[in-house]
Structure 1
Amino acid sequence: MREYLLTLCVTAAVTYLLTGPVRKFAIVAGAMPEIRARDVHREPTPRLGGIAMFFGLCAGLLVADHLTNLSEVFQNSNEPRALLSGAALIWLIGVLDDKFEIDALIKLGGQMIAAGVMVMQGLTILWLPIPGVGNVALTQWQGTLLTVALVVITINAVNFVDGLDGLASGMVCIAAAAFFLYAYRIWYSYGIEAAAPATLFSAILMGMCLGFLPHNMHPARIFMGDSGSMLIGLVLAAGAISITGQVDPDALQLFVGSEKAAVHQTVPVYIPLLLPLTIIAVPAADLVLAIVRRTWRGQSPFAADRGHLHHRLLEIGHSHSRAVLIMYFWSALIAFGALSYSVNSASMWIVLGIVFLSAIGLVLLLLPRFTPRAPRWAEHLVPPRYRRRRAGVDPVVVLAEEERDPRPPVASGVSGVNGATAVGARSRLLDGRKAESSR
């Protein structure tokens, strides 16, 4: 575990430290597109954040190759090299798109080529465990087509959900954390070495997201762009393919008694082949809804719009930060719910807990105007909008202070309807004072 944590920290540190210089480079290179109709940010923001994430990936693989235990992953498997080859190709396509905005069909072709490169180097699905049936071997063409489809769907699912500050990186980090815990359990609890590459990929993916997230939280200083969203989507898909298509359920028979029981034991990981990923079911559902919505309107499935789930959260009244947190909540509920079910599928408490948390999530969705207040002792730890109003504050004194330091109310966190109300109140108070002074 210590070597995985070291790899994660090195990946996060390299990504974090490189994001600042990459931001300056993106500004100089002109990778700051104009604000589009579907965008939610108000100022042009540089992209190309995927450059820092890619070098974080390279640093994580380099460090892991020189560690005592993790170096065996590179000696016994060609999957890390296959991942690096596919990641480099998809990253290059993303960089070109961030700068020149290449055609959607060209990007789709590049995604398929990147998936094919990984398949040629051994990162492919060899068999398909089916609950209740057992282990079903796949032909070379079946495994290739299934692998390419899973990679392309996952990349586009992550790319579609990248619409709010910190949303894609946070959701993928949550998915990677759940996947890491499951793969680590398969690797060390059952002693199945085939799960080691997926465990390493998940740890590196968490580091990439955690290192970039501080720069990408609202208000974002830099966007990951397609160079980042397609990259982390490919890494996530590579981990799922590695553990799904390489870990033989027959090896689990020593622990659970039979092949069917072994397949049932690993159901939460094999479900991703159908959804395509249970651990990112929210962006996958958003992807399906977007394709259906655009096709119904007679548009291209790749035509961007403002109908995504995060856009709908903003429309019903949620703030930017709250919409992101709600998406985090649902992603964590699905990912860790599947993880808990894989540990003990016979426990009714797990089902009841998921139902209870789902009810809480629905309540949060229906209360967009509700603003929680922090207790007195924690007010200095939270933003001003979550602090309680002080009783007995004279509005004239506040106005006098604002006159000495005139700044727009939006800069102090006031926006929307409340901001307009505050501005109107201040204007009326100023007019009243001027009228009194003229008399």
Structure 2
Amino acid sequence: MKITVIGTGYLGATHAACMAELGHEVLGLDVDPDKIARLSAGSTPFYEPGLDELLVKHVVGHEGSTGRLRFTTSWEEVADFGDLHFVCVNTPQRHGEYACDMSYVESAIDSLAPLLDRPALVVGKSTVPVGSAARLAERLAVRSPAGEAVELAWNPEFLREGFAVKDTLRPDRLVVGVREEGGPAEQRLREVYAPLLDAGVPFLVADYPTAELVKTAANSFLATKISFINAMAEVCEAAGADVVRLSKALSYDDRIGGRFLNAGLGFGGGCLPKDIRAFMARAGELGADQALTFLREVDSINMRRRSRMVELARQQCGDGFLGRRIAVLGAAFKPDSDDVRDSPALNVAGQIQLQGGQVTVYDPKAMDNARKLFPALGFADSAVEAARGAHVVLHLTEWREFKEMDPAVLSEVVAERRILDGRNALDPELWRGAGWTYRALGRPS
């Protein structure tokens, strides 16, 4: 099939490459010529394992490529290319508010609709407030020359950064919201995803609002689970208990499970924080705000973990940061990503620097993005260089490189052997055995 993908950011670039991998002819569009040039050259402006390899495999012009994928800045070319258009643009948090900024989605619809003069299917994948699809379907019909012959479906994405290619090619489920169950839109999406359906991936068909709610409900549940174990970490610290052992005991309960039950510095990134806030805002607009008031505490617990890490670091520095060097290992909000949006690690680093600490940051992939966001911080080219002369080392993003560090190597360069494990991912006995003072969130000292 011929497919277009509108928006080639994290979601769009991944979706375009993976649709080519499934055998479709794909045309990706973005308004940023530099981004289009880079994607056409076979590389992404962000780090996602396996994605560059897929681009080289399929982008037109590369030796041995299938030629099934190319990119453009032309809306007219997109409209002429095919009749199935995926909208994959960003939906950030509105400035100064909790609500979702729908301007990019609306702009995409408004740019595409006037060019659709024949029957077509537009498929939204962006995370939007419930009720958006019905409004956008009407907007499409009004602004398109083909009127109601242009149909809208909503097909939310469930990508995890660091696993986006796998999550697209081997998803745990596909959800589509359509105007008419069993109608043409559903049948066309079944054709698009036929290789996945043949492999047994569940295909769930729903109305617009249910499909929209699946993504926000899933993210809210995940955020709640993470904040729950971090709330238990607060109790453990007060009671002298060990949250890691508590979590392990809870994980054996089939009703609870152990995934995402790891206490630490909390969640960040471009999805969970803004999605739960937008969900709260939308519930208020619908008159159901009391149903989601618990998410305010979920958000609050998450932010308190950052303040607690700063407090622990201050204690390790003798109750003050002035004249103290602090090494921060990690800048990305999670490993296997260079995404620093709402990064807990950089938030902690920034707070410490504002309080007088001399902070040096190292991350395997996110250094360029971190420098752009926090230019006043110090940066190093390795964990060893970041730790040189440090009075305390903070482990804040659980990259494998950090988990496999030899404490003896860092011992040779630090001013004091003190480490704070913000992710409960290091081996306490290994570090203590090497003469380090080891502290972690939710664990006894």
Measured against the shorter chain, the TM-score band is under 0.3
Does 1 or 2 have the higher relative contact order (CA < 8 Å, sep 6+)? 1
TM-score (norm 1): 0.28
Larger helix proportion of the pair: 1
Give the TM-score taking structure 2 as reference length.
0.28
Whose strand proportion is higher, 1 or 2? Answer: 2
